[in-house]
Amino acid sequence: MTMAPVNETANETVDEAAGGEARPYASGLPRLLPLVPGVPEDLRAHLARYGRLPYRGGAGLLIASVQEAGLTGRGGAAFPVSRKLALVARARGRKVMVANGAESEPASHKDALLLRAAPNLVLDGLQLAVEAIGASEAYLYLHPGASPELTRALAQRAAAGLDWLGVTITEAPPRFLAGQESALVNRLGGGPAVPTFVPPRVSERGLGGAPTLVQNVETLAHLALIARYGPRWFRALGTAQEPGSMLATVHQADGTSQVMEVEIGAPVSTLLASQSAAQALLIGGYHGTWLPLAQAASLTLDNATLNQRGAAVGAGVIAALPADRCGLVEAARVARYLATESAGQCGPCLNGLPRMAAALAELAGRGHRRQTRADLERWAGPQGVVAGRGACNHPDGTARFVASALTVFAPEISVHARGHCSATNRTPFLPLPYGMPTTEDDWI
């Protein structure tokens, strides 16, 4: 096995390191996922493929590289990573680093797959971020627990003395909000995984009051590659505004689902196995947006394009609703789930989401009161009763999901108003966790 030498020259740029001592590496796909699909890469395979972790002896170089690379968070909000790194790096005193692998969105599987298939890439990124911000504690926050591949990777790295800092694994409860960063910090602190109002942000005042950097596990895997191969390499894929590759969980209309690594800006149509079997796409998951198939399939997978249609990449969930299902019924099931997932601590969310879910369920039934549709349009709209009124954006995301369902499935609302339904298949399509939460104990 050959290994790329560690570059310890602090004043050398990362790109020089990538072109010089570090192992040159193809900029195409896959970058994150194993070269042999379905075969996880252990530490030996990982080092053979990527070379050693290039610690840089300080914050500046890595942060500058990440800024030049234009890496954005892959946990949903696409926030520039270099800005959070720099903010926490500047803070004084005790600092905390957290890799967020909660993946609390039921339709997303990319983080679980990455942690199984390439755990060392995530752990590399975690260690680099620890070094860059000067953290004295590192956590890996996971749902539903560590995979055997991850456990083995941690043990192999400890035996090889690879890591800067030991990593504490904490389990996330299986709740939709558990991965939200302030909920995560509350859970790490021993409390319930519920969000708190901002400010302060966790990057200013997080775990035990310490500035806390929370990054999605996929984001950290990209960071590990940027540290090795540099910003120019990273930018060889993606758009100028949104560079790189991303993991997407794609639910095909035939009921199968795959995690794919795709170039940001790839045509959405290239992700779909068969367009003829679908009627609409849900883009961005359960806080995302429904779009009619013809419109969605002509778009590209980047926020600059999707935002023009009121949609966003989010955490990379794409679901192609089969032509034989009822979009209203599917949306009503998910809206009910989202309503039950409210942490119940902000009035508009506690009261508004169940009302929206009940109204959507009425529209998805046979015959409804005329006022119900008007009420729901008003509640879910941008000036509605919930948007912008919570400690977190759960109500906003739920309202976006419901509002887009009302638009895309408008013809079906009329069909239901006449006492019919176009579906020929009543099997639920969009995945939801088994069993709805019933007690407050589920938060722990």
**Do the Cβ atoms of 422 and 326 come closer than 8 Å?**
yes
In 143-217, at which residue ranges do the beta strands (DSSP E only) sit? Answer: 167-171, 212-216
Does position 206 bind ligand FMN by CB under 6 A?
no
Report the residue from 43, 177, 283, 356 that binds ligand FMN according to the rule CB under 6 A. 177
Does position 349 bind ligand SF4 by CB under 6 A?
yes
Report the residue from 346, 385, 402, 423 that binds ligand SF4 according to the rule CB under 6 A. 346
**Do the Cβ atoms of 98 and 91 come closer than 8 Å?**
no
Peptide bond into 354 cis (omega under 30): no
45 contacts: CB under 8 Å, gap ≥ 6: 34
Residue 176 or 229 with smaller CB distance to ligand SF4: 176
DSSP assignment of 349-393: HHHHHHHHHHHHHHHHSSS--HHHHHHHHHHHSTTSSSTT-SSSS
Peptide bond into 54 cis (omega under 30): no
**Do the Cβ atoms of 332 and 354 come closer than 8 Å?**
no
Does position 416 bind ligand FMN by CB under 6 A?
no
What does 349 bind: ligand SF4, ligand FMN, none (CB cut-off 5 to 8 Å by kind)? ligand SF4
Stretch that binds ligand FMN, among 30-38, 115-123, 297-305, 388-396 (CB under 6 A): 388-396
Here the tokens at position 270 are 């290239």
User: Is the sign of the CA dihedral 109, 114, 115, 117 positive or negative?
Assistant: positive
What does 350 bind: ligand SF4, ligand FMN, none (CB cut-off 5 to 8 Å by kind)? ligand SF4
Here the tokens at position 89 are 């790096």
Residue 101 or 390 with smaller CB distance to ligand SF4: 390
Neighbours of 171 (CB within 10 A): 15
What does 332 bind: ligand FMN, ligand SF4, none (CB cut-off 5 to 8 Å by kind)? none
Stretch that binds ligand FMN, among 39-47, 68-76, 353-361, 422-430 (CB under 6 A): 68-76
**Do the Cβ atoms of 372 and 416 come closer than 8 Å?**
no
Minimum distance between the CB of residue 194 and ligand SF4, rounded to whole angstroms? 6
What does 100 bind: ligand SF4, ligand FMN, none (CB cut-off 5 to 8 Å by kind)? ligand FMN
| Gap between the Cα atoms of 257 and 252, Å rounded | 6
Minimum distance between the CB of residue 111 and ligand FMN, rounded to whole angstroms? 7
Does position 186 bind ligand FMN by CB under 6 A?
no
What does 181 bind: ligand SF4, ligand FMN, none (CB cut-off 5 to 8 Å by kind)? ligand FMN
Stretch that binds ligand SF4, among 86-94, 229-237, 336-344, 419-427 (CB under 6 A): 336-344
Minimum distance between the CB of residue 424 and ligand FMN, rounded to whole angstroms? 34
Stretch that binds ligand FMN, among 10-18, 24-32, 212-220, 417-425 (CB under 6 A): 212-220
Minimum distance between the CB of residue 301 and ligand FMN, rounded to whole angstroms? 16
| Gap between the Cα atoms of 416 and 149, Å rounded | 48
Q: Where are the alpha helices (DSSP H) in 79-196?
A: 81-90, 110-117, 119-133, 148-160, 181-188
Binding residues among 229-258 for ligand SF4 as defined by CB under 6 A? none
Stretch that binds ligand SF4, among 99-107, 301-309, 384-392, 406-414 (CB under 6 A): 384-392
Does position 350 bind ligand SF4 by CB under 6 A?
yes
What does 43 bind: ligand FMN, ligand SF4, none (CB cut-off 5 to 8 Å by kind)? none
Of residues 383, 287, 285, 391, the one with CA closest to residue 344: 391
Stretch that binds ligand FMN, among 30-38, 101-109, 264-272, 328-336 (CB under 6 A): 101-109
Binding residues among 389-408 for ligand FMN as defined by CB under 6 A? 392-394
Q: Where is 282: in which H helix or E strand?
A: strand 278-283
Does position 325 bind ligand SF4 by CB under 6 A?
no
Q: How many residues bind ligand SF4 (CB under 6 A)?
A: 14
Minimum distance between the CB of residue 374 and ligand SF4, rounded to whole angstroms? 24
What does 75 bind: ligand SF4, ligand FMN, none (CB cut-off 5 to 8 Å by kind)? ligand FMN
Binding residues among 194-213 for ligand SF4 as defined by CB under 6 A? 195
Here the tokens at position 274 are 């068969």
Phi–psi pair at 291, nearest 5 degrees: -135, 145
What is the binding site for ligand SF4 (CB under 6 A)?
177, 195, 342-346, 349-350, 390-392, 394-395
What is the binding site for ligand FMN (CB under 6 A)?
73-77, 79, 100, 102-104, 176-177, 179-181, 214-216, 219, 392-394
